[in-house]
Amino acid sequence: MEGMSRNNLRFYFGEPTRIVQTPRGEDWYYRFAFWHAAPTSDSGTTIDPATGERSNYASVILDISKDSVEMPVHLSPDGFVVRPVPEGRIIKN
């Protein structure tokens, strides 16, 4: 997205949550969503009290969560994106 104009940024990503003037241009802040997946596992042995029979088990669960964080998109003084847009999905207002 480097080189994208201020107008195109607004068109594709919507209004920023805030704009901060910097000595090198502007920082437009957007909320970015990130998905995290973390496997969890458990294993062990159970014994049936009635029969004394042993059973082994194993389970794997994928714990999925979504976080969001406000991050800047940097624009030059003439209104063009000067660095890559942060990774993640922009949450439109």
pLDDT score, position 62: 78
* Domain membership flag for residue 81: yes
Query: Would you say residue 42 has pLDDT above 70?
Result: yes
Query: Residue 13: which H helix or E strand, with range?
Result: helix 6-13
6 vs 81: CA distance, rounded Å: 7
Tell me the whole-structure pTM to 2 decimals: 0.66
- Using CA of residue 19, residue 22, residue 26, residue 30, what is the dihedral sign? negative
Is 1 contained in some domain? Answer: no
| pLDDT value at 59 more than 90 | no
- Owning domain of residue 35: 6-91
Within a domain: 35? yes
Distance, in Å, from the CA atom of 75 to the CA atom of 82, rounded to the nearest integer, reads 6
Q: Which residues, in sequence order, are CB contacts of 90 under 8 Å at separation 6+?
A: 13, 14, 30, 31, 32, 33
**Number of domains forming the structure of the chain:** 1
